A = this chain, B = another copy of it.
């Protein structure tokens, strides 16, 4: 009700927070190593919002919030730490990858534009060109055929190295020679994306693969804005429909789960649980909840704790 005239001066990390950056690291098993990488990424203008690791994917996804300068420092240090400590040749995991730091997408938040995020991606790419070949993807890609991450990944690192050698797919920054321990860097700018997985009660990934192939946007009758892969998760003895949901306003998470449930029923397998990798936008969470409850116009402002968290009192530890 009151609007303070004298707003408190925010600390540097908060004052300058403008982008999300979601580096994907090809290491999801050795916690001590992941700890070291996270430590390397620390910066006064960057805040770690989430860290999710999976042993079967053998992958860690960090969600960082920060300023352009802070994120360039943070990711540069993270990449060098990963190059020092990880070796792609030893990596085993079900998730596709091209480097020990596999993809580094920037997402513009309130107050900055996609153009700013593209500029930031290209600035980081230029800065890291001496360390590894760098490819730019999504909105940061110089040409439409380079937009899709899948276009860079096609055939995996061996095929990418071939395409670099024959000159058909030169890196956007750096030399066309690959240190096989490091792999390449793929840096981009994109809108928010939800990494969302649904586990199936079947060790054999065949059903998960068929379901993924039927629900992905590119399939006839597929779900708009959904990219999907079917994978085995041997550690847990289950399989997974692993997804990137790039447009939750076109297809809600609830609709996705319902569709996978229908498809799974036809396959004779059961859904076990869903999983969120990293964060999701408010609109996606509350959109799915609104749909499930038939409750229109549900925003974060309708959640008690949102108002408490918004008070600086909590940040002071009061």
| Interface residues, chain A, with chain B CB atoms under 8 Å away | 1-2, 4, 6-15, 17, 20, 41-50, 64-66, 109-111, 192, 198, 253-254, 257, 271-276, 279-282, 285-286, 288-289, 292-296, 298, 300-318
Contact = CB atoms under 8 A, between A and B. Distances in A.
Contact of A14 (B254, B288, B313): B313
A293 B274 contact: yes
B279 A302 contact: yes
A316 B10 contact: yes
A173 B293 CA distance: 41
A281 B305 contact: yes
Given A1-B64, A315-B7, A292 B14 contact: no
A273 B292 contact: no
Given A1-B42, A289-B289, A314 B304 contact: no
Given A10-B318, A279-B304, A301-B50, A254 B64 contact: no
B300 A109 contact: no
Contact of A110 (B66, B111, B298, B308): B308
Contact of A305 (B47, B282, B298): B282
Contacts of A304: 20, 49, 109, 192, 279-282
A216 B313 CA distance: 39
Secondary structure of the A contact surface, majority rule: mixed
A280 B307 CA distance: 11
B11 A2 contact: yes
Nearest to A283: B305
Nearest to A62: B1
A1 B13 contact: yes
A280 B290 CA distance: 13
A17 B309 CA distance: 12
| 7 interchain residue pairs of minimum CB distance | A8-B8, A4-B11, A292-B292, A14-B311, A10-B312, A282-B305, A7-B316
Contacts of A313: 10, 14-15, 17
Contacts of A307: 47, 49, 65, 279
Given A300-B303, A310-B315, A13 B2 contact: yes
A20 B311 CA distance: 14
